Amino acid sequence: QRQMCIRDRSGCPIVPVAATTSRRFEFDSWDNFTLNYPFGTGSLVFGDPIYVDKNSSEKEIENKRLSLQENLNMVTNQAKELV
């Protein structure tokens, strides 16, 4: 929910973004951190902006959080498919 709190203060939409390269080492961690090697191709994918009304209920905020998580997974998969 940290992203939602930051959005509340800035008034800006949240844009899911993923980047990857064709030559990388993927760590076995919760966030799938990667170490990108030189001389590969790269991709950068932006998802649709997610808008959260400042007067949203807790349930609406949770739905937006789940939508953000789903969109981050989607753009990550798209980025990997492009390389």
pTM of structure? 0.80
pLDDT in the model for residue 30? 87
CA gap 73, 70 in Å, rounded: 5
Q: What is the pLDDT along the chain (83 residues), one digit of tens a residue?
A: 565 565 565 678 889 999 999 999 999 998 888 999 999 999 999 999 998 887 888 888 889 889 999 999 999 999 999 99
E strand intervals along 3-83 = 17-21, 24-26, 34-36, 42-46
